[in-house]
Structure 1
Amino acid sequence: MGRKEKSKTAVIVGAGPGGLAAAMLLGAKGYEVDVYEKQPVPGGRSGRLKLGEYTFDRGATFVMMPQLLEELFEQAGRSVHDYVELHKLDPLYGLYFDRGRTVLMPSSDNEETAKRIKALFPGEEAGFYRFMTDESVKYEHVEPLLRRPFGGFGDYLKADAVKALPYLKVTDTVYGQLSRYFKDERLKYAFTFQSKYLGMSAWNCPGTFTILSFMEHRYGLLHPKGGVAALWDAMVEVAKEHGVRFHMGRPVDKILTERGRATGVRLKDGETRAADHIVLGADFASAMNQMFEPDVLKKYTPKKLEAKKYSCSTAMLYLGIDGEVDLPHHSIHFADDYAKNVKEITETLTLSEDPSIYVHNPSKLDPTLAPAGKSSLYVLMPVPNLKGDTDWSGRREELKGRMLERLESIEQLKGLRSRIEEEAFYTPLDWQDSLDVYQGATFNLSHNLGQMLALRPHNRFEEVERVWLVGGGTHPGSGLPTIFESARISVDLIEKADGRVQPRASAQALGAAGGAE
């Protein structure tokens, strides 16, 4: 590229998934890029956690929509498969109901899943086929809306949005939609629990998001060897190959502005760095509260941020276990009264006596994560965010004990406490204090109707020119595929602002298998 193009500079605040994707793309397009990250490792709240000889993903534990990941690397002139070994999971996960007496293990093969549904819930397999057929049509209409910016209400009048509107099901809920396909409550839960990926209740989450379950069953789930953090390493490597500079352990203090336009950043150590563009990948609400001088923002003041809706939080146990664990790669153990459990997490904001729990057990498939014959166990319990009145500090040990008790109630994990060699524990308060996650809301802003599409913070930041948002707190939303899309949208907008618009690399067919092993 010519000298003039290379002279454009960008500072990226945060090396989370969105910041890393933006770094790769901007670097590949000839921008001079510096990434500043508070933590010593990349990945943001989904970074790598090491405890002795055990390795864990702190947040996200799988990759979905592998074709989007392939497109992202292709746009940077690379193949993801040259950097990361991706393994397709089968079964997708184990779903444990009735204290483990009923176990559904959906396959990556839809015919096999239908057989398993028929064996456990006779006659319900027809609903599964109808669901997949209907959602396929819906996905074709919704997917284009996730690939472009929504900067105002005029964007709803564009042809793709008008065409998609009847398929969005925004007046229904995820649970309401699934009730059209299945009679058995357990089967409804098997296709609605994905609302938790957004930190929301399936009874409140807009019906649009049934596409999450569809995408899992249509495109499968993948495990990167070395954990999801191996993907962050790969993205850092690709970005560096394009000249991007990473400054780990160097937090940004303030985004500098002049007459409503960003001019650069000031670091916590006092150094300043000028730039043509600031890509903000930090937690949205925390960044709004901390990274601008007083009186710069009018729309996102502390009071207005407080009034927004936020996802639930998570209590996390990371356990280094002596011996192997006889559970699938992913397993979800549902509360006896799941509806009550979800209501407590998202509405009454109280700790459940009977919680649901998710267990990630990757060591059988991936021996790099634990010593031979041992297991790295990741345990997630959805809990209320900090807007509730739980004393997370005072009840810390009680909560940890409750999680361990719930784990040991699972047949395959009896006596687990005696096998623990390493452990770490996170509460919502730890998410906030250690990783700047506002209100401990690990899945960021909620995806209710008032916080979707044009009503979500815009990729082209509304309040300060030359600031661009990436991550779960902007359009199209939280979750790795949409976070990657947020970076692609913002980079396209940056190029447009610089008069350097180039067509995206030709997208692969959405039915691509993803090249997984």
Structure 2
Amino acid sequence: MPARAALMALDPASERDLARYLDSAGATYDLALRRFLYSSFDSMRPFLAREVLGGLPRLARMLLRSLDGEIRAHTRESRLRRLLGYPAVFLGGSPLRVPGMYHLMSHLDVDEGVLYPMGGFAAVVQSFVRLAEAAGAELHTGARVESIMTVDGRARGVRYRDADGALRTQLADLVVTTADLHHVDTQLLDARHRERDERWWARRDPGPGAVLAMLGVRGRLPQLAHHTLLLADDWEGAFVSVASTATGFPTNPSLYIGKPSETDPDVAPPDHENLFVLVPVAADTTTGHGGIDGAGDPRVERFVDGVIAQIASWTGANDLADRIVVRRTVTPADFAGELSSWRGSALGPAHTLRQSAFFRAPNASRRTAGLLHAGGSTIPGIGVPMCLISAELVLKRVRGDRSASPVAEPVGARA
């Protein structure tokens, strides 16, 4: 059954309202793609178009009403409320707080469909490596930048530790960061060149953290699809437990379970499954580190044991725990330690109203010339597609392109 029809079947009495919701999601996605996502918001010209000005009342309503409010204006069915609202997690937020404009996510999930790269996301990374090297880029893996060098108020390169631990210097005319902006501000720049201080960050929402469980399982799991959501009955309480002010682990979490071995035979040995379990938790680094095959902090491993038991109970895969042959856990503390993620956030600053579009951190430093930013902390936002667009926005800025459109030709088309 097509996804739209399956949703309608959950609430036949609201079929017309749900159709309007999904049609609105498609129209909002189209408008965002043409007028907002590819803009650095440093020129007002793209937003003076008739379709934007004419749609201001509707846009204002969707910005001021939460995603949950937008959903409940079209259906009161509790399962639909949760299904349509859960994508807010992948925006680093809660459907109770992110603007209703983000109902556009439902257009991608329901009408466009979800794509999967064969070989997993490692294959995507490898394709970027090939493209970069073919374009003449020299990649230094296993290196960690320790500071951004500045001369007379301009970025002039970076100091970094290479894979062997040696301190090295790389001079540059332009520095582009893709690291977490809090890390850039507080660790890589000296005080004179910092864009935002700790008081600024204290007023921002880091978005939720996550506990990840990567599991190799012997035998098949027909109870799970490639994508499975197990959503808590206490919808509001589940999001309160992962809010920016919360600590610790939730007691009744919602879960996302990916089973790529359903689609891709190369990600697991024959007659085995590959599971990726994502559990939204508070962005709290004090809960401990994960580890391999149960070697993480005891509190973490007990929590993951409970998550595995929850999956078994809710899906009927009763012997799941006994069939796990590979296990790795990751926590907010690991995100902070390995990726320098602010407060251990899993995705980046939440897409609340004050952290979206015009209000999100810009991609060019106002204090340091020649310092640009890409990645989930800056515009347009979090998620792999958004981060790729952020790189394109950097390219447009370097070229002096102030439009709200994608780059017209392939990046490699210019010498």
Smaller-chain TM-score bracket? 0.7 to 0.9
Cα offset, 1:449, TM superposition:
1.9
Normalising by structure 1, what TM-score?
A: 0.71
**Partner Cα separation in structure 1 for residue 135 and residue 71 of structure 2:** 45
**Partner Cα separation in structure 2 for residue 156 and residue 390 of structure 1:** 45
**Partner Cα separation in structure 2 for residue 417 and residue 406 of structure 1:** 11
Select 1:407's aligned residue among 311, 316, 323: 311
Counterpart of 1:239 in structure 2 is: 132
Is it true that 1:424 corresponds to 2:328 in the alignment?
A: yes
TM alignment of 1:281-360, pairs within 5 A:
281-297=178-194, 299-326=195-222, 327-346=224-243, 349-350=246-247, 351-360=249-258
Contact 1:117 1:124 in 2 (8 A): no
Counterpart of 1:487 in structure 2 is: 391
Counterpart of 1:245 in 2: which secondary structure?
Answer: coil
Using CA pairs below 8 Å that are at least 6 residues apart, which structure has the higher relative contact order? 1
Are the structure 2 counterparts of residues 114 and 482 from structure 1 closer, same or farther at C-alpha, using a change threshold of 3 Å? closer
Counterpart of 1:151 in structure 2 is: 42
Counterpart of 2:211 in 1: which secondary structure?
Answer: strand
Identity fraction in percent: 26
CA RMSD of the aligned region, Å?
A: 2.4
Select 1:448's aligned residue among 344, 352, 372: 352
Counterpart of 2:13 in structure 1 is: 123
Cα offset, 1:475, TM superposition:
0.7
Unaligned 5+ segments in structure 1 are 1-106, 508-517
1:190-220 CA-partner distances (Å, limit 9, x unpaired):
1111000012110111111111112222321
Contact 2:205 2:244 in 1 (8 A): no
Unaligned 5+ segments in structure 2 are 290-296, 411-415
Alignment: residue pair count:
391
**Partner Cα separation in structure 1 for residue 113 and residue 5 of structure 2:** 17
Contact 1:324 1:364 in 2 (8 A): no
Cα offset, 1:394, TM superposition:
6.3
**Partner Cα separation in structure 2 for residue 411 and residue 440 of structure 1:** 30
**Partner Cα separation in structure 2 for residue 429 and residue 336 of structure 1:** 28
Select 1:203's aligned residue among 93, 96, 100: 96
**One-letter amino acid of the structure 1 residue matched with residue 210 of structure 2:** T
**Partner Cα separation in structure 1 for residue 110 and residue 388 of structure 2:** 20
Cα offset, 1:157, TM superposition:
6.0
**Partner Cα separation in structure 2 for residue 149 and residue 322 of structure 1:** 48
Counterpart of 2:36 in 1: which secondary structure?
Answer: helix
**Partner Cα separation in structure 2 for residue 225 and residue 412 of structure 1:** 28
1:271-327 CA-partner distances (Å, limit 9, x unpaired):
111111111111221222211123321x31234323321100101101111111111
**Partner Cα separation in structure 2 for residue 157 and residue 362 of structure 1:** 40
Select 1:165's aligned residue among 56, 69, 73: 56
1:122-156 CA-partner distances (Å, limit 9, x unpaired):
3233233111222233223222211111137x579
**One-letter amino acid of the structure 2 residue matched with residue 215 of structure 1:** L
Are the structure 2 counterparts of residues 347 and 149 from structure 1 closer, same or farther at C-alpha, using a change threshold of 3 Å? closer
**Partner Cα separation in structure 2 for residue 254 and residue 240 of structure 1:** 25
Counterpart of 2:139 in 1: which secondary structure?
Answer: strand
Normalising by structure 2, what TM-score?
A: 0.88
Larger mean CA deviation between 278-287 and 314-323 belongs to 278-287
Counterpart of 2:413 in structure 1 is: none
Counterpart of 1:244 in 2: which secondary structure?
Answer: coil
Are the structure 2 counterparts of residues 260 and 166 from structure 1 closer, same or farther at C-alpha, using a change threshold of 3 Å? farther
